[in-house]
């Protein structure tokens, strides 16, 4: 592609994945955030829970002064605490809802462009009941967010049988879910991730085309699924080109090419497309992030 990537998307990264010591909502958040805000390659930065209100305020100001946009990832609120938004135990479902609503409050506080969460685990024999619980919870989240403003609420599509074992999930169920909720709420959509597609045993076309009308946010990442004995196996988001991994320049180019074809990448309303690339073991996070940027630049030349 000869035209600048900036004409079609806002390139971002997920702060707490790029710098994994921030995953608990504490640590040198502002110091790491400054690295991203002062890097002109990025227009967006995705954040998660920041437990200190003063840090949230300072982060909000830094992002605004850097002329950037931000998004809020609520997935860690579920994964870190072992919560499940489609829990068949009503007390558990309510606890998950309460945490995500708190996340929505924080997302509005930092002026996030959107708020994301994930569906929880399920059992095959009670899959439909879990799906109905997910619908109920999603309706409540969308209604709650809509009362406070117009920030979109997004469900990220994860694997269903390898790592996160999320109900959402295989593309047919994802489409049923998104079609149902989008028919009732204007502020709902899907988040897709290149690293999750191989884990779903689907091609790019199988994964994206059936839900093309519901995609509102995208991630770029990598996964290892060829070698279950590898410590980076599953949903670990190793760097592009990691040994035995699925995604590198050509795969990222194919992903972006299809996102452009279906109109998700566009000049009128440029979406956030962020790296989700995590340093493996003692890898330097800045080196890994630099590698991701090079990979994207090379991939864009092939789009």
Q: How confident is the prediction for the chain on average, in pLDDT? A: 97
For the chain, which residues make up each domain, given as ranges? 5-302
Q: Does pTM surpass 0.85?
A: yes
Percentage of the chain beyond pLDDT 70 is 100
- What's the burial of 229, exposed, middle or buried (CB within 10 Å: 0-12/13-18/19+)? exposed
Report which DSSP code applies to 270.
P
Contact 255, 220 (CB under 8 A): yes
Q: How far apart are CA 164 and CA 252, in angstroms?
A: 22
The pLDDT of residue 258: 98
d(CA 35, CA 215): 29
3-class SS of residue 138: helix
Residue in the block written with tokens 């690339």:
277
- Confidence band (pLDDT; 50, 70, 90) for 2? confident
Give the pLDDT confidence of 131-151 residue by residue, as tens digits.
999 999 999 999 999 999 999
| pLDDT range class, residue 38, cuts 50, 70, 90 | very high
Per-residue confidence (pLDDT) for residue 302, from 0 to 100: 97
* Domain 5-302 belongs in CATH node 3.20.20.150: yes
Q: What is the mean pLDDT of residues 229-244?
A: 95
Q: Decide which of 1 and 287 is more confident.
A: 287
Residue 1: predicted pLDDT: 82
Whether the per-residue pLDDT at 159 is higher than 90: the answer is yes
Residue 248 has pLDDT above 90, yes or no: yes
Give the pLDDT score at 164. Answer: 95
Answer yes or no: is pLDDT of 191 > 90.
yes
Euclidean distance between CA atoms 32 and 34, whole angstroms: 5
Burial of 55 by CB count in 10 Å (0-12 exposed, 13-18 middle, 19+ buried)?
middle
Structure tokens at 123: 């059992």
């Amino acid at each position: 592609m000869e035209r600048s990537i900036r004409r079609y998307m806002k390139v971002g990264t997920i702060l707490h994945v790029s710098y994994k010591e921030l995953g608990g909502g504490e640590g040198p958040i502002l110091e790491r955030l400054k690295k991203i805000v002062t890097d002109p390659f990025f227009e967006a930065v995705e954040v998660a829970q920041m437990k200190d209100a003063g840090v949230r305020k300072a982060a909000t100001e830094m992002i605004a002064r850097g002329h950037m946009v931000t998004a809020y990832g609520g997935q860690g609120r579920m994964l870190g605490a072992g919560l499940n938004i489609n829990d068949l135990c009503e007390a558990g479902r309510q606890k998950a809802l309460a945490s995500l609503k708190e996340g929505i409050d924080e997302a509005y506080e930092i002026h996030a462009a959107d708020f994301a969460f994930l569906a929880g685990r399920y059992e095959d024999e009670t899959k439909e009941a879990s799906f109905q619980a997910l619908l109920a919870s999603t309706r409540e989240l969308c209604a709650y967010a809509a009362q406070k403003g117009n920030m979109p609420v997004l469900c990220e599509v994860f694997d269903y049988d390898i790592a996160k074992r999320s109900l959402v999930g295989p593309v047919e169920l994802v489409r049923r879910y998104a079609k149902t909720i989008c028919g009732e709420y204007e502020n709902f959509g899907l988040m897709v991730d290149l690293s999750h597609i191989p884990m779903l045993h689907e091609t790019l076309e199988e994964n994206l085309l059936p839900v093309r009308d519901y995609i509102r946010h995208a991630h770029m990442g990598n996964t290892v699924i060829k070698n279950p004995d590898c410590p980076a196996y599953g949903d670990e988001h190793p760097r592009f080109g990691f040994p035995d991994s699925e995604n590198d320049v050509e795969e990222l180019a194919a992903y972006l090419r299809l996102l452009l074809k279906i109109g998700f990448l566009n000049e009128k309303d440029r979406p956030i497309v962020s790296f989700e690339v995590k340093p493996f073991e003692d890898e330097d996070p800045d080196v890994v992030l630099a590698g991701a940027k090079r990979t994207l630049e090379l991939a864009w030349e092939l789009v």
